Structure 1
Amino acid sequence: MLTLASYNLHKCRGLTGPHAPERNLAVIRELAPDIIALQEVDFRFGVRPEALPRKLILSETGLVPARMSGTTESSLGWHGQTILMRPHLAEIAVVRRLPLPGLEPRGAVALRLPGLTVIGVHLGLARRSRRQQLARITAQAARIAEDHIVLMGDFNEWSDDRGLESLAGFRVLAPGPSWPAPLPRLRLDRMAMSRNLELLDSGVFHGARARDASDHLPIWARIAVP
């Protein structure tokens, strides 16, 4: 069994600030995932310095970030994204960056493990771009992965029945409203799983003062790994 999660950190500023990454680390620690896809882990401008301090991740959460090339020395993620995982998983993981089309600079992060590929995503604000990005991700997943795949992240999709056409072969999971965190109404955060993966449980995480730590609440799922 693995616990998977996705969490948009909103640059560790809560809904409006100030920068307080210890709140986000507390949320991740209490959530206790085996693998978690993170979005907005870096600040946006300049050299895009890390908003989530990497030196605190292991001691505060027991997780380690994916090793990625193509980022600046001051950045934690790629296009603001990274994946954290248990250290024993990091020893056998292969990480790839997936450039994506669209009006804004976007990319996905693919984590390949024996028997499972996890792809962290943060899709664009325009539905046309999101459709292009999902089409690219699913096409690339078919080339680099076997048939056990999980996409998870901030899909930025307000509708439950539009914009997700490329995921017709997947089980799309939106455990509940996750945005805005203080009074969640929209299911922007989702997972898409290969249909042959067994879903054991899922939900939206409300503990550890998650409503104060970001503008998104994290989502999670437990799966049985083949």
Structure 2
Amino acid sequence: MLKLASYNLHKCRGLTGPHAPERNLAVIRALDPDIIALQEVDFRLGPRIEALPRKLILSETGLVPADIFGTSESSLGWHGQTILMRPHLAAQATLRRLPLPGLEPRGAVALRLPHLTIIGIHLGLARSSRRAQLARLTAQAARIGSDHVVMMGDFNEWRDDRGLESLAGFRVVAPGPSYPAPMPQLRFDRIAMSRDLTLLEAGVFHGAGARDASDHLPIWARIALP
């Protein structure tokens, strides 16, 4: 059994600032996931310096970030994304970057573990781009993944009946409204999992000051492998 989570940090600025990553670290610590996909972990302009300080992650959350090669030494993620996990999982993990099509630069990160592949995603703002990105991801998942695949992140899609057509072979879990954090109305954050994985429970996390730490609330799910 694993507890998975996804969390858009909004560059650790809450809704309007200031930059306060300790709030996001407190949320992650309270959420206590085995694996968490993070979005917007770096500032967007210039050298894309990490917004979530790498040096604080282990001491504050007990998790470690995946090793992402080919990015700036000052960045934590790739296209603002990374995956944190428990140290014993990191010892078994490999990660690769997945470029995505679209009107704006986007990419996904794929964490490969024995018998499970986790893909962290942050899809584009235009539905046409999101459709193309999901089509690319499902094709890549079939090539690089094990038998069991989980895609999770900020899908930027507020509809359940449009834009997700490429995920017909997956079970799509949207635990509840996660955006905007103070008064959540939209289910932007989702988890898409292979149908042979068992979903035990899922939810949106509201504790530990999550409403103030980002413009998104984190989502989580407990799963069991066959």
TM-score, normalization: structure 1?
A: 0.99
Distance 1:135 1:115 in 2: 23
- Cα distance in structure 2, aligned partners of 1:141 and 1:94: 15
- What CA distance in whole angstroms lies between the structure 2 residues aligned with 1:20 and 1:53? 10
Residue equivalent to 2:44: 44
Paired residues for 1:26-41 under 5 Å: 26-41=26-41
Pair 1:137-2:127 in alignment: no
Partner of 1:182 in structure 2? Answer: 182
Contiguous gaps of at least 5 residues in structure 1: none
Identity of aligned residues (%): 84
SS of 1:158's equivalent?
coil
Which sections of structure 2, spanning at least 5 residues, go unmatched? Answer: none
1:213 is aligned to 2:213? yes
Alignment of 1:107-186 (within 5 A): 107-186=107-186
Give, in angstroms, the shift of residue 70 of structure 1.
1.3
Question: By how many angstroms is 1:147 displaced?
Answer: 2.1
User: CA offsets per residue over residues 66-89 of structure 1, 9 Å max, x none?
Assistant: 001111010000000000000000
- The amino acid that maps onto 2:61 is T
Which amino acid is the alignment partner of residue 70 of structure 1?
Answer: G
Shift of 1:148: 0.6
Amino acid at match of 1:109: V
* 2:118 is the alignment partner of 1:103: no
Mapped partners of 1:146, 1:5: distance in 2: 20
Q: TM-score, normalised by structure 2?
A: 0.99
| TM-fit CA distance, 1:225 | 2.3
Matching residue's letter, 1:66: A
CA RMSD in angstroms, aligned pairs only: 0.5
Kindly indicate whether residue 58 of structure 2 is the aligned counterpart of residue 62 of structure 1.
Answer: no
Matches of 2:160 and 2:214, distance apart in 1: 23
The list of structure 1 runs, each at least 4 consecutive aligned residues, that deviate by more than 6 angstroms after superposition, is none
SS in 1 for 2:121: strand
Question: Residue in 1 aligned with 2:201?
Answer: 201
The CA distance in 1 between the partners of 2:94 and 2:55, in whole Å, is 22
